[in-house]
Amino acid sequence: MKQLDMFELSENEPVLAGIFRGRQLLSRLIGESEPASSPEPLFLDFQKVELVTGSFFREAILGFRDFCLNQRTNLVPIVANVDRTTLEEFLLVLESKGDAIVVCDIVNGQVQNARVVGVLEEKQIITLEAVLQAKETDAVSLKEKFRDVDAIKTTSWNNRLVSLAAKGILVERKKGRLKLYRPILEVSYGY
C-alpha cells in the first residue's frame, strides 16, 4: 500500500491553509511520487492533520490528483483519515467545482469506509453503480446490459466512464482496442 504522510510532508504543520502553501505541498507531492507500472491507489494520509482549508485542498490535493491522472503516472490519489471538519471544507470546494474524490479511512493498514464524496451527476452515479456491480466493464457491455431500460448509445456510456476516470474514481485498462474500467477501490457514494 503506497501511502504519504501529509503531516510529515507539510513539515509537521497541524493546520494546512492557503494557496501558496498548497502549491508548495503540491511540488513536494510530485517530487515524492514515483510512477507505477499499473494503476494503483496512493493514499494521502491526513491522520495527524487537524484542519485543511478549501484553498489548500484545491491547490495541493486536487492539483496533485489532476497531475497524476493527466501525466499518466498510474497513481490515483485517495484522501485518507480526514476528520469531519476537514471533509466539510473539501465538500465546499468539490460542490463549487462540480467535482468528486475518493476518501477512506485506514485502520491497522486496512482500507475502510471507502466512498466517493462531492458531486456526481445522476448518470455518473448510475454508471458507477453498474461498474461496481460488474467489477470491470466497458461502454459496449453497459450499452448491452441497459438496452431494455434506456436507449443510451455506446458513446454516452464511454463519456460517463471517462468522466469518472478523470476524477480518479475509476481506472482504465486497455485490452487491445477495448478500454475496460474498474473502480480504484470498492466504494459507496455519499458523505
Domains of the chain: 2-118 (3.30.750), 122-189 (1.10.10.10)
User: Mean per-residue pLDDT for 109-138?
Assistant: 94
**Cα 37 to Cα 13: distance, rounded to the nearest angstrom:** 32
Q: What percent of the chain has pLDDT over 90?
A: 84
Q: Which grid coordinates belong to 189?
A: 457514494
**Cα 28 to Cα 56: distance, rounded to the nearest angstrom:** 14
For residue 42, CA distances in Å to 39, 92, 117 come to 10, 23, 17
Going by C-alpha positions, the residue among 86, 139, 93, 158 that lies closest to residue 119 is 93
pTM (2 decimals)? 0.92
Cβ proximity of 69 and 109 under 8 Å = no
User: Which pLDDT does position 125 carry in this prediction?
Assistant: 94
Cell 478500454, residue located: 179
| pLDDT tens, position by position, 72-117 | 899 999 999 999 999 999 999 999 999 999 999 999 999 999 999 9
